[in-house]
Structure 1
């Protein structure tokens, strides 16, 4: 096993960003990845000449200009505005909820008309503070939009009734009174021109960084703990501790990807299927992320499913029961001062890509004792 100042477990965004920052600071870094590839769940690869998002659609978006500058060191980004559609029993509705959606639902053409309907629909649900996703959705948009565009999709996505889920999940969905199909409010949005794998490869391309794929840290955990005084762990925090207090809940995904001998299937990158009867939640047509032209197209159907220890964890279920359990693991982690737990799985948080990068950069700043001029506020330091 090579000697290194830092052992990083996981070659996803958190691990790759910290590895790069540590290497730039003159530290030697060893990155272990149990999968046969780097880049974690943002891994992309060429299929039939089309850049495919292997683990579901990933659109980079951020409000943080420093993070936007940071990723541009490693990739050229193509402009991309995420404008998904919702298919409810054969009828298409634009997302996020905006004037196009309201026109498709009710034929209204002005914000005043739409507001009047929304106010009437939501009035019965304004009597108390929402305590779960269903109450939050009903108070935001009322029963018609909830039943057509939220309820079935949510049940499939999370495997739970909406009333069993925390209210904050639905707050991610914008509600607009303009004809604007841009799903995100963030000013900086795009897709790496050569794919996310190429971007992460460039992050890890440094003489101070060694990467080993197909390497399972947990199979030799005690040996690694004895050998390395600084470990960054981006896997599941409960798995690190052998599920001592019980397993945290996650949601997993299954993907069916197919090459079609036609130029186009749906003329949109993402279409969500919001009825409960359709078993998958969305169809992704990958060529539309980068506007590739081809006589073929590659599509992926995304099926949410229950997680178990043989499957990949994608979404932590951050309800009160799981947060209580997570705090037990955080307390246990204090017994391992040489280990830092980071990333979506290590910190058991639902994080977007830019948030993971920000988290890694902030940690790097403090861990590596960077001077002020190398702080995140000057992320275009190189």
Structure 2
């Protein structure tokens, strides 16, 4: 018998397992994949730590959260500074004075502000009714057409005019020459990859890999007094009200016979003529001296059964459906739900960690 059964070995489940073990609880973690770590799993290939489920950059303004994660690994000083490729032309991201100079040749903040204001005027003060209008209202036509439209339509699989305005509530616009994507005070990549963090969190804890919780639910539920569930909430309740919708990703990785393929960890491809949204070159996250490199192209896809659900589609229909499932959890007194799938929301890593530490206070 265990005190806790935890379904999922991602950051949320592993944090809970680690903290519960420190309290003296006996914990069993079950994981349907062949490895621990969920989507932050990294695998060492040719001395390069490959982010197997997309790029993960830890960033936060919360010092206690930063100190907490640093107990498990030493972090480097990586600064996320992606580059956008539009029909062969390169632009710095996020939108800043470097971007504006590359677009228009403007050299001062006042010049850039005037240029954006001129292009916003096309809406004549209209309240944006879709993503396209919302983006133009924030940054003007040029930035929208070159750096937002194609990327967003690939990401969501729909024309921007058919996407709701709330998806882009705001866009980071800086009138300084600053390519640091995040505003957070603390930022970095663990030297040696993320998997080591989960390994240390789960040290001394029973873990069963290749174990689908729903295939063994009757047996597993009997093993522990309390359960922590980090999987899809609609699946837990047998899709009683219907399935929640997601966008997914398909990854194509390749070993390239060059020490430096693109000179940057992340290059976004913002034109519709390129089917993928970005190319990741993993060695730039945690630099290593190798004669080869590994790149990954990311292709957005409509989520279907059997695919990994990455991005919840938090529109009115799906959020209403989620609230129905959320209401069912109020009747549970021995099952705790947490993480991006159980809460049907997009989480950054620091938010996952913060949510787990907060939720643990309610767990006996």
State the TM bucket, normalised to the shorter chain: over 0.9
Work out whether residues 166 and 318 of structure 1, in 8 Å CA contact, stay in contact via their aligned partners in 2: no
Report what 1:363 is aligned to.
Answer: 359
Q: Distance in 2 between matches of 1:241 and 1:47?
A: 39
Deviation at 1:166, TM superposition (A): 4.2
- List per-residue Cα deviations over 1:83-117 (Å, max 9, x = no partner): 00111111011100000000000001100000001
Q: Which residue of 17, 20, 24 corresponds with 2:18?
A: 20
Residue 138 (structure 2) pairs with residue 140 (structure 1): yes
Q: Hey, what does 1:262 align to over in structure 2?
A: 258
For structure 2, list consecutive stretches of 5 or more residues without a partner in the other structure.
none
CA contact (8 A) 2:47 2:288 kept: no
Of 328, 331, 356, 2:327 maps to 331
Partner of 1:93: 91
Report if aligned partners of 2:58, 2:187 keep a CA contact under 8 Å in 1. Answer: yes
- Indicate the SS of the match to 1:55: coil
Write out per-residue CA displacement over residues 157-214 of structure 1, whole angstroms, 9 at most, x where no aligned residue: 1112334434444346411000000001101000000100011111111x3x211111
Partner Cα distance (1:221, 1:161) in 2: 41
Moved more, 170-179 or 77-86: 170-179
CA distance in 2, matches of 1:125, 1:354: 37
Of 291, 302, 309, the residue aligned with 1:306 is 302
Please show how residues 217-296 of structure 1 align to structure 2 within 5 Å.
Answer: 217-296=213-292
Find the aligned partners of 1:300 and 1:238 in 2 and give their Cα distance. 31
Number of corresponding residues? 364
CA distance in 1, matches of 2:171, 2:283: 25
**2:228·2:335 contact (CA, 8 Å) conserved in 1?**
yes
Unaligned stretches of 5+ residues in structure 1: 369-382
SS in 1 for 2:345: coil
Q: What is the CA RMSD across the aligned residues, in angstroms? A: 1.5
Following superposition, the deviation at residue 62 of structure 1 comes to 0.6
User: Residues of 1 paired with 2:10 and 2:67: CA distance?
Assistant: 19
TM, length-normalised to structure 2:
0.96
Per the TM alignment, residue 127 of structure 1 is displaced from its structure 2 partner at its CA by 2.4
Q: CA deviation at 1:285?
A: 0.4
- What are the equivalent positions in structure 2 for 1:1-382 lying under 5 Å apart? 3-125=1-123, 127-171=125-169, 173-205=171-203, 207=204, 209-368=205-364
Task: Give SS of 1:229's match.
Answer: strand
Pair 166,356 (structure 1): closer, same or farther in 2 beyond 3 Å? farther
Structure 1 residues 255, 268: closer, same or farther in 2, change over 3 A? same
> In 2, distance between residues paired with 1:228 and 1:167?
45
Judge which range, 219-228 or 150-159, deviates more: 219-228
Post-superposition offset of 1:241? 1.6
- Tell me the distance in 1 between the aligned counterparts of 2:132 and 2:274: 20
Match of 1:377 in 2: none
For residues 253 and 77 of structure 2, the distance between their equivalents in structure 1, rounded to whole angstroms, comes to 25
Task: Map Cα deviations across residues 134-165 of structure 1 (whole Å, 9 max, x no partner).
Answer: 23211110111111111110111111233443
Matches of 2:174 and 2:83, distance apart in 1: 15
